[in-house]
Amino acid sequence: MAEAHPGAEWPFDVVSGDEYARLAALYEPLTQAIRDLVDAGLRTGVDDATIAAARASVESVTQTLNSRQHERTRTLRHADTGRPLAWANPAVGLRNAIAPPMRIERTDDDRWVSDFTLGAAYEGPPNLVHGGICALVLDHLLGEAASDGLTKPLFTGTITLRYLRGTPLGPLHAEAWIDRADGVKTFARGELSDADGVTVEAEGIFIRPAWARDAG
């Protein structure tokens, strides 16, 4: 069954909690395996013949996965929570190996938090996370906070980041919260941290689109 937001061309396939759990158990390990492959490709020091053999194997797997393709990526809506589940989302897409491996949770004091590890695929300066990846993580997490876990239609209007120091590769913590709301605008704040403290601070304004205002 599909539904759409009023005024928006966003069809959602509604999926039960049990079916989502089944799909997650099927696809999440595949996504992680692809992430591991990317990391291995960046770090490998094997000989030329082994590289050639590995490339042939990867091309064979790609051909297998391409043997049946959907015309478009799918966005599911969880029947129990109402949360949209975008497989291809580059920040948290369960089937997108580009996405940082973030699991986002809501705390009792209404903060949205995630603990995750970023490896070589996210490197900018040597041994540091690319600043654009920091922005991606915080933009998404602030959006989670502003939209109550993506269940309310709000979109990034502006986001401002302050890079206090380089963010090292490895284990990281991110969190976001609502600062205040004013009409169609929700103001959110957040930060990215390593074991030594905050590395990036963010402030964002998230706006309810016109079609959602008209829908009440």
Q: What is the pLDDT along the chain (216 residues), one digit of tens a residue?
A: 233 343 344 456 788 888 888 988 999 999 999 999 999 999 999 999 999 999 999 999 999 999 998 776 667 777 777 777 778 889 998 899 999 989 999 999 999 999 999 999 999 999 999 999 999 999 999 999 999 988 888 999 999 999 999 999 999 999 999 999 999 999 999 999 999 999 999 999 999 988 877 655
Distance of alpha carbon 138 from alpha carbon 199, whole angstroms: 12
For residue 155, list its beta bridge partners.
207
Angle at 135 between CA 174 and CA 106, to 5 degrees: 30
CATH class of 102-214: alpha beta
- Residue pair 204/146 in contact (Cβ under 8 Å)? The answer is yes
Domain coordinates in residue numbering, the chain: 1-99, 102-214
Distance of alpha carbon 180 from alpha carbon 213, whole angstroms: 19
Tell me, yes or no, if the pTM score tops 0.75. Answer: yes
Q: What are phi and psi of 77, to 5 degrees?
A: -120, 125
